[in-house]
Structure 1
Amino acid sequence: MRDDWPVRPARRDEAALLPAVETASGAVFRTIPDLAWLADGDVMPVAAHLAAIEAGTCWVVAVGDGIAGFLSARVAIEDGAGIDAGLAVLHVWEMSVTPAHQGRGMGRALLEHAAACAEAQAMAAVTLTTFRDVAWNAPFYARAGFATLPDAALTPRLRGVLAAEAAHGLPAARRCAMRRAVAAVF
């Protein structure tokens, strides 16, 4: 495994390439019978990637002439009560690595880069939602320093994200929100 993959901001002209990376990455869901339908599901639209690129919250790992992986995120202000109430966080909407490049440290490099960018901008944390029991989801993120948030610690924003996912057919009981602190906030 290599952990020094060069991560850089995505360019506008690369936004159209990112859905294909996500589609290829998602093919692994075919190995989980009750989640196989995700392999043929919708992916993050180009317009959403463009918005993240414009905001400076979309990064890629390029290999040769192609994109091997990406992370698209959005800055959010946590509402309600809780550890990050009123603070900015970086929320990961999608991270994908092509099958040919999985298991080589690209996902970890993308996460580390996003966390470093969030910290440089004095954000409190990086958040995401994922499957609790899929090896390349919550267990992977836990190894990268993310902690699963108990229901009592969910902010209204994260509750809303999870509810929207359930409304789109994702099994709510298998989903969770995770958080990685990136800066000491006083």
Structure 2
Amino acid sequence: MLIRPAHLTDASALPAIEKSAAQLFGTADGLAWLRDAPVIGPSDHARRILNHAVWVAEAADGALAAFISTEIFDSELHIWELSVHAQWQRRGIASLLIDSAYRYAVNRGLGALTLTTFSDVPWCAPAYAKRGFAPLLQPGKRLQDTLDAEAMQGLPPERRIAMRLPVGGLIPRR
């Protein structure tokens, strides 16, 4: 699996990856509706690829298997989306993408990676915690605004949390 920076031409393939990844929510209590929820469109992916840091996982045949979309805010790299196509899940690809984002943050002298996620879904907060991310009891304005925006989009606020991984010299392993 090749992890590389996303190219503008990759933008059209990313919504299908996100949609496929979302099918796993059919197994999460009360979240099956996310299987049919809107995903990030190609034009928004293109904007993120041009203006921020996005990586893809490319299979040997050239097909894209996964992506991570991030953005720098002050001294932190925020993970907006991490999606692995259903046929490629449970192979460590998400970890490879997180590693790329972590190295990017280290190389730019950033202080942390941040994200928002479900607190009680096994492949969300518990998986990030294994990588060293910690829940933020007081997420600060930027992350609280993100959580509030997610609630306005229908995500249950009582199940959403912000998490942070401080950046040091070594990335925590699973």
Q: Above 0.5 in TM-score?
A: yes
What are the ranges of 5 or more consecutive residues in structure 1 without an aligned counterpart? 78-87
Residue 66 of structure 1: how far off its partner (Å)? 0.9
CA contact (8 A) 2:52 2:72 kept: no
Residue number among 13, 30, 35 corresponding to 2:9 in the alignment: 13
SS of 1:53's equivalent? Answer: helix
Moved over 6 A (4+): none
CA contact (8 A) 1:60 1:69 kept: yes
Residue 89 of structure 1: how far off its partner (Å)? 0.9
- Counterpart position of 1:103: 90
- Counterpart position of 2:172: none
> Could you give the per-residue CA deviations for residues 26-56 of structure 1, whole angstroms, max 9, x where no partner exists?
0011112411110100111222221221135
Correspondence 1:177 to 2:162: yes
Residue 69 of structure 1: how far off its partner (Å)? 0.5
Inter-partner Cα distance in structure 1 for 2:150 and 2:52: 25
> Could you give the per-residue CA deviations for residues 57-114 of structure 1, whole angstroms, max 9, x where no partner exists?
000010112100100111112xxxxxxxxxx211111000011111110000000110
CA contact (8 A) 1:9 1:56 kept: no
Inter-partner Cα distance in structure 2 for 1:39 and 1:76: 29
What are the ranges of 5 or more consecutive residues in structure 2 without an aligned counterpart? 170-174
Residue number among 20, 36, 43 corresponding to 2:32 in the alignment: 36
Correspondence 1:157 to 2:142: yes
CA contact (8 A) 1:122 1:183 kept: no
SS of 2:23's equivalent? Answer: helix
SS of 1:118's equivalent? Answer: helix
- Per the normalisation by structure 2, the TM-score is 0.92
